[in-house]
Structure 1
Amino acid sequence: MVNVLEVPADRFIKRLAQYIKENIPEVKPPSWYMFVKTGSFKEKPPTDLDWWYIRAASILRKLYKTGGPIGLSEFRTIYGGRQRRGVRPPIQRKAGGGVIRRILQQLEQAQLVRRTKKGRVLTPQAIALMDRIAFEIAREYAKENPEYAKYLASS
């Protein structure tokens, strides 16, 4: 069976973000999402209007990929980046925690993520949803790329 890690990440995240936007009413951007930067190292807010859903899909994929619990601090490090400081050398900065925290809370309300003592983990419901979407993407990708179809047939 095909899983999330065997399909292209960009296609998977876009498809999962679209699914979240259309089918999961608990995950919705707050009123301030168009004005907020995602970190202190950014100069401007995101330009894509669906960035909230894309970040939620990305968080779900990161949880799937690691398998274990991930805390807010680890997510801040993952989504962090390089802050340019003019003449001085750039330094690593963590991403803002408010956006990530709010998305994780919304995913908990949707029962896709649950909280443990060490962080957050995916629920079986979320794993099944993500594997189903990955299988759909794999079938489409196999039609476009015959060499990938051979890989699917062997697994």
Structure 2
Amino acid sequence: MEGYLEKQSSEDPKLWKKRWFVMQDSKLFYYKTQSDVREQKPTDETCCGVIAMENIDSVTTAKDFGVAASTDETCCGVIAMENIDSVTTAKDFGVAAFQIRMESRRYVLRAESRDMMHEWLFNFQKSIANIVSALSRTQVTLSID
């Protein structure tokens, strides 16, 4: 899944920055613009931020949280899903807002519509389910050996 989301600034909670997000390979990559992807597969080296999905504990409902800002010129981050504790709605920031909570920081994001927010949340849940399934298969293999 990919598309524009607004990301709340940690330096100024009233400031929202439009970013291009790409969910792929159990990671959420984000860029300043869609053109920064440059028609290549997103990697930790080509984008400014990645969220990894393997550590997400739950997808639930929640309130407001702060966000860290990026200093990179074109790319914002890569967030590995294994570092995520939860993905929840963030109604205090609008009907299409949700947050990604991690031990070290929190991201508050806003989709263009409530339907788009639900699509993003569904894809987070799907990615988490795939990770849990893969971990279960690994544990079964390890216990058999």
Greater share of strand: 2
TM-score, normalising length: structure 2: 0.33
Q: Which has the larger radius of gyration?
A: 1
Taking structure 1 as the reference length, what is the TM-score of the superposition?
A: 0.32
Where relative contact order (Cα < 8 A, 6+ residues apart) is larger, the structure is 1
**Structure with a larger share of its residues in helix:** 1
